[in-house]
Amino acid sequence: MSAALETRGPVEARSRYDAGVMQYRQMGYWQPDYSPKETDVIALFRLTLQDGVEPEEAAAAVAGESSTATWTVVWTDRLTACELYRAKAYRVDPVPNTGPGTRTEQQYFAYIAYELDLFEEGSIANLTASIIGNVFGFKPLKALRLEDMRIPVAYAKTFQGPPTGIVVERERLDKFGRPLLGATTKPKLGLSGRNYGRVVYEALRGGLDFVKDDENINSQPFMHWRDRFLFCMEAVNRASAATGEVKGHYLNVTAATMEDMYERAEFARELGSVIVMIDLVIGYTAIQSMAKWARRNDMILHLHRAGHSTYTRQKNHGVSFRVISKWMRLAGVDHIHAGTVVGKLEGDPAVIAGIYDTLREAHTPANLAHGLYFDQDWAGLRKVMPVASGGIHAGQMHQLLTYLGDDVVLQFGGGTIGHPQGIQAGAQANRVALEAMVLARNEGVDIWNEGPQVLEKAAKWCAPLRAALDTWRDITFDYTATDTVDYLPTPTASA
Amino acid sequence: MRITQGTFSFLPDLSDAQITAQLEYALRQGWALSVEFTDDPHPRNTYWELWGLPMFDVRDPVAILHEVHACRQAHPKNYIKVNAFDDTRGFETMRLSFIVNRPPEEPGFGLVRQETSGRNIRYTVHSYATDRPEGARY
């Protein structure tokens, strides 16, 4: 920072509260010497400035507008411990590979610290009303993105977190040592309850652990929710008896009101379902309500991230999905769709690795190469099972297992239901491919390179796998990701 | 039918060499191995009988395979599984669990439906094997 800027720090109290408009940094929202406390909430924003706006002033403005400030000086600040309540922008860095000489307009990372007492305990609604409440429309910024957050242990501990978590989910399902397998019923819309249940039965009977409602299956004219629930539970129980395994179907209880959602969730429980599902579009408060309900009712809670791409995908504006993942771990969901790397939906491998770590680890160290800017201690909150869904098939099993690891639900919708020999065959192909790959990996086979041979070998005795490999062999979705990391790993200089 | 509980039930039954490779993998991860058996393979029968305590201090796959053989010899018609337990904070649970012995005939399960109010049905997964007393099944 230049010497000229430093002279424009906070001003004396007397003139600070004269009526009028002054720069945010003069109001105390820019404090380059501030060292965040262990209990501070920290947010990292990506700023794209309007012409003529200085980055420190923009950072101070974001700090101000997301905490105590308004556009003009108010004397009533002096009735409060306003020094404490002001958010403090304490660091601004230019974003690598932006600005002159690059194809991207200059951007800055602004680090802002918030006093813990600015937030209500256990409330994502309150946290987000501050952090993303007003600032995203702020005129001096062309664009603004919330890249990452550090949730202090003191705040994390006020949240319930996932009602079940990965460990307990596996113990309830009695399934260990491999990713779980799922599929979304297709077509997404239009099936009657009876026909819908058929798809569920076939997929579970064939070898999947879960089948899933799609995000927009609620209670439409072609299939009302009670009909769906009744037929699906017949399918789940039939498949369980036929295989000796615990099976489940994510019954989507998303509805117009909390009363409707509770009614649907309670019916799912009465019918013996192990899992219910909600969509991100129901809102943070509704999600937290369902998380509490799920904890009370021994229910696994699946979250579909419907709508997230409207604000997570573009790199210059919105909220990154790693932040949404953190909020959802606090809010308390057991499953969350978090990207596949290889499938049809957005997902850079490094970004996805950062998100998966955020969901699954007890503690995630800062790792710029994965887009993680802060050490994050999860304070004993349970782990969220990521769900990989969208355009994946058995032929990618070695890549999926390498990228995503064991604690993940792999959802092969089209890759199960679109199998040429039928849904059971599709499910069997996926399960055989998965178990063969896990077995080989554990035996020490280099599956990244030799995965295709492992699949070929299993396909010799498993005709449905043979057919799956032949059908989807060359299907890849190779597009450039829009949401990528800004810092590439550099080799450490040797001593 | 073939009960498909466990990590590798969709594959052909594992040979001793394949079992040993998995034991070696678990030991490399620092997990503790144990052997359990049952004649009641209901999907929600959590507590199979312990074939001795988990072998926290046994790091030799041969010794563990020996226990698998001994359990098979004592209970040839039971389901037997090997579990790998991870005591790492944040897990403290099984990380791998696979069947290494099955009865020659697997009668499987029936589904008992109790019609209740409206169209609601209460389901019970019923194990045919448990119609006979413990010790006389399979």
Distance CA A109, CA A107 (A): 7
Cβ of A244 within 8 Å of Cβ of B96? The answer is no
Nearest to B124 by CA among B5, B43, B57: B43
Q: What share of chain A is helix, strand, coil (3-state, %, to 5)?
A: 45, 15, 40
Q: Pick the catalytic residue: A186, A292, A317, A344? A: A186
Nearest-CB residue to A442 (from B5, B21, B123)? B21
Distance CA A484, CA A315 (A): 8
CA distances from A35 to A6, A40, A67, A90, A195 (A): 17, 10, 18, 8, 61
Average of per-residue pLDDT across B32-47: 96
Which 8-state DSSP code applies to residue A117?
G
pLDDT at A489: 66
Nearest to A173 by CA among A299, A339, A287: A299
ipTM over 0.95: yes
Q: Name the residue type at position A370.
A: H
By CA distance, what is B97's nearest residue in A? A176
pLDDT beyond 70 at B35:
yes
Cβ of B109 within 8 Å of Cβ of A242? The answer is yes
State the smallest CA–CA distance between residue B44 and chain A in angstroms.
Answer: 7
Tell me whether B114 touches chain A (CB under 8 Å).
no
Cβ of A272 within 8 Å of Cβ of B89? The answer is no
Distance CA A447, CA A158 (A): 42
Tell me whether B115 touches chain A (CB under 8 Å).
no
Q: Phi/psi at A420 (nearest 5 deg)?
A: -60, -25
B79-86 and B49-50 beta bridge pairing: unpaired
Query: Model confidence over B49-104: pLDDT tens digits?
Result: 999 999 999 999 999 999 999 999 999 999 999 999 999 999 999 999 999 999 99
pLDDT at B137: 85
Distance CA A203, CA A74 (A): 63
B49-50 and B32-38 beta bridge pairing: antiparallel
CA distances from A126 to A121, A122, A133 (A): 9, 9, 9
By CA distance, what is B24's nearest residue in A? A443
Distance CA A8, CA A10 (A): 7
- Residue B20 tokens read as 């040993």
State the smallest CA–CA distance between residue A174 and chain B in angstroms.
Answer: 8
**Cα B27 to chain center, whole Å?**
19
Q: Under a CB-based contact definition with an 8 Å cutoff, are residues A271 and A233 in contact?
A: yes
Residues from chain B contacting residue A362 (CB–CB below 8 Å): 89-90
Cβ of B121 within 8 Å of Cβ of A270? The answer is no
Distance CA B35, CA B78 (A): 12
State the smallest CA–CA distance between residue B123 and chain A in angstroms.
Answer: 7
- Helix H or strand E segment including B83: strand B79-86
Residues from chain B contacting residue A237 (CB–CB below 8 Å): 111, 123, 125
Q: DSSP for A34-94?
A: ----TT-EEEEEEEEEPTT--HHHHHHHHHHHTTT--SS--GGGGGTTHHHHS-EEEEEEE
- Residue B104 tokens read as 């020659």
Tell me whether B130 touches chain A (CB under 8 Å).
no
pTM over 0.90: yes
Q: Pick the catalytic residue: A212, A304, A326, A370? A: A304
- Residue A354 tokens read as 């950062």
Cβ of B108 within 8 Å of Cβ of A242? The answer is yes
- Residue A24 tokens read as 């945010």
Location of structure tokens 């951007």:
A107
State the smallest CA–CA distance between residue B135 and chain A in angstroms.
Answer: 20
- Output the tens digit of pLDDT for each of chain A's 495 residues: 344 444 445 566 667 777 777 788 888 999 999 999 999 999 999 999 999 999 999 999 999 999 988 777 888 888 988 889 999 999 999 999 999 999 999 999 999 999 999 999 999 999 999 999 988 988 889 999 999 999 999 999 999 999 999 999 999 999 999 999 999 998 989 999 999 999 999 999 999 999 999 999 999 999 999 999 999 999 999 999 999 999 999 999 999 999 999 999 999 999 999 999 999 999 999 999 999 999 999 999 999 999 999 999 899 999 999 999 999 999 999 999 998 887 666 678 899 999 999 999 999 999 999 999 999 999 999 999 999 988 789 999 999 999 999 999 999 988 899 999 999 999 999 999 999 999 999 999 999 999 999 999 999 999 999 999 999 877 766 667 777 888 876 555 443
Residues from chain A contacting residue B110 (CB–CB below 8 Å): 241
Tell me whether B125 touches chain A (CB under 8 Å).
yes
Q: Name the residue type at position A53.
A: V
Cβ of B121 within 8 Å of Cβ of A238? The answer is no
Nearest to A58 by CA among A7, A103, A94, A33: A94
pLDDT at A250: 97
Residues from chain B contacting residue A377 (CB–CB below 8 Å): none
pLDDT at A18: 78
Residues from chain A contacting residue B7 (CB–CB below 8 Å): 176-178, 435, 438
B/e letters for B56-78, b = 16+ CB within 10 Å, e = fewer, are eebeebeebbebbeebbeebeeb
- Residue A433 tokens read as 């491919």
Distance CA B83, CA B66 (A): 15
Strand partners, A144: A47
**Cα A80 to chain center, whole Å?**
37
Residues from chain B contacting residue A177 (CB–CB below 8 Å): 7, 84, 94-98
Max CA distance (Å), chain A:
84
Active site (annotated) includes residue A186: yes
Active site (annotated) includes residue A88: no
Nearest to A161 by CA among A265, A301, A256: A301
Nearest to B115 by CA among A251, A198, A230, A194: A230
Interface with A, mutate which of B38, B123, B126, B128 (most A CBs under 10 A):
B123
pLDDT at A461: 97
pLDDT at A345: 65
